[in-house]
Amino acid sequence: MMYPQQIRLGSLDCFSIDPSLQSTPADVVSDTSEGGGAVPSAIVVLCHGYGAPGSDMVGVAQSWVQLLGETAKQLWFLCPIAPLSLAEFGMPTGRAWWPLNMARMMEAVQAQRFEQLHRETPPGLDQARNQLSSLIHAAQEQLGKRLGKPAAKIPLAIGGFSQGAMLTMDTALRGDIPAPDQLFQFSGTVVCQPQWAAATGRLEQTRVFQAHGTVDPILPFSSAERLRDLLKAAEVDLEFHSFYGPHTIDEYSVETTAMMLKQLPSAKDQA
């Protein structure tokens, strides 16, 4: 199993897994730019959800590494740590990308009224998008130097769970980064819909995978359908997967996105 390193890229701390380094606890290096041997050729960024610890998505990345075999050495996996601590709310290890009004959220869930939440821009989203964009820029610049190629030519996949899914969708559509080659939406939904709808053309060359549990008690399945329909209306290359389950990531989603990642290193070859 690959052991993650905690590093800082741009304005965010993150957990880094670089299978090309073949790291173990005894020989972990402090800077991924100094590793020897093979160099990964693509970047995968995976963001956790609201209230989770910063390491929450490391397990998914490690599952991908196991499923990908030798292909994993071509990928650099990054799991950013959300900047906001939720310790004062009774979650000592919990992190958030932006604050949530939980009372309002639960009221919307119970009443099945999400229209306003879908259309408004959450306070703090713009800052979170800029922070994630800075991490992606720093990673692309670092890997570009190792490979001797422009940062914009580094294949990129981004994705996340719940609030992390919303952030990565917003970053793909409105971030100061090149459009990603692949985009993963695990149990996400739509926010700031007018702005997203106006920017969906950015995903013209992006493969999108979206998954959602049909009995999700946090973000109801109808909220996933809202996102699905937005992407379909824009004729985005989308695979939508529903499964009987709660607010989680199912095994099919992990396996399917791993198969997509097998193709990521060559994503720019056809551009």
pLDDT of 110 higher than 90: no
pLDDT of 117 higher than 70: yes
pLDDT of 36 higher than 90: no
User: In the prediction, which pLDDT does 26 show?
Assistant: 40
pLDDT range class, residue 113, cuts 50, 70, 90? low
User: In the prediction, which pLDDT does 102 show?
Assistant: 58
Domain that holds residue 174: 5-270
User: In the prediction, which pLDDT does 93 show?
Assistant: 96
User: In the prediction, which pLDDT does 238 show?
Assistant: 98
User: In the prediction, which pLDDT does 118 show?
Assistant: 85
pLDDT higher at 112 or 180: 180
pLDDT of 37 higher than 90: no
Report the pLDDT averaged over residues 111-136.
Answer: 88
pLDDT range class, residue 79, cuts 50, 70, 90? very high
Phi then psi for residue 2, to 5 deg, are: -75, 135
User: In the prediction, which pLDDT does 230 show?
Assistant: 97
Domain of 130, CATH number, reads 3.40.50.1820
Which residue intervals of 162-207 are DSSP H helices?
163-174, 193-199
Percent of the chain with pLDDT over 90: 79
User: In the prediction, which pLDDT does 120 show?
Assistant: 87
Report the pLDDT averaged over residues 235-254.
Answer: 98
pLDDT higher at 34 or 76: 76
Report the pLDDT averaged over residues 155-166.
Answer: 98
Phi then psi for residue 238, to 5 deg, are: -120, 135
- The span from the CA of 228 to the CA of 157, in Å, is 19
User: In the prediction, which pLDDT does 149 show?
Assistant: 92
Q: Please, which residues have CB within 8 angstroms of residue 102's CB and are 6 or more apart in sequence?
A: none
| CB-based burial label for 36 (10 Å; 0-12, 13-18, 19+) | exposed
Report the pLDDT averaged over residues 147-167.
Answer: 96
